[in-house]
Structure 1
């Protein structure tokens, strides 16, 4: 009977690998570690070398996605914890739904604010264009700010 083959080792990553992959600084990754969002294994003398496994890579990816979405670190931590816990219990699902509803509400308010700001910018642009057109008419079509002598 042939000997059983060893399973291939799960991939690991250095802090530099992850920093390059996700276009962040190693300092940012260490910050997320200090905040309890990541917990790499330690190797080498005094445990100075950080070794990240697939789980930690996924947590970093989700952390960065949460930051892009405007979540706080506490919200990200809660979602990561829910992501890793059994997701089929009613209290966890309810908590997750509550978290999502709160975040949705915040994003909808931000979207309303952005739409209002864009509408204001549109108004200012139209007003500026009208003033420039009026100045061009007054100067006989010359560029604004350049006086045209009329005989």
Structure 2
């Protein structure tokens, strides 16, 4: 009897996965789920990162678009440019047809860490300069 339960659970899991794959989303659905604006989604579409199907004027996104959006936003969070993200998505699509994650190489990770550390130094320098300007202005007043 325990084997029957395991089999039923496996079938239920497959059914849920299939249901998620066949689910469709409106632009508003994705905007709410990922806390982005409608304008952001249209921008990603204009840049060729997302390709929703159209029904009249409505944009209809599928599970693949949702996965791609997740990857795009993760890439942005890690500081990659949209051009870099587009290249990663194209590379992923060439490998297996689905963009499930960024699949970063060690070299890409090391380069991005170096880039972000340099940006942090530049931001700290800008903050020091702005704080000094603020202090001078407060002392003049």
Hey, which of these two has a bigger chunk of helix by percent? 2
Q: Distance in 2 between matches of 1:124 and 1:27?
A: 36
Unaligned 5+ runs, structure 1: 87-92, 133-144, 146-151
Q: How many angstroms does 1:115 deviate by?
A: 1.8
Structure of higher RCO (CA pairs closer than 8 Å, 6+ residues apart)? 2
Matched with 2:126 is 117
Q: Distance in 1 between matches of 2:38 and 2:70?
A: 14
Query: Judging changes above 3 Å, is the alpha-carbon distance between structure 1 residues 28 and 123 closer, same or farther for their aligned structure 2 residues?
Result: closer
Matched with 1:76 is 85
The count of aligned residue pairs is 119
Matched with 2:15 is 7
Matched with 2:116 is 107
Q: TM-score, normalised by structure 1?
A: 0.57
Across the aligned residues of Structure 1 and Structure 2, the Cα RMSD in angstroms comes to 3.4
Q: TM-score, normalised by structure 2?
A: 0.60
Q: Which has the larger radius of gyration?
A: 1
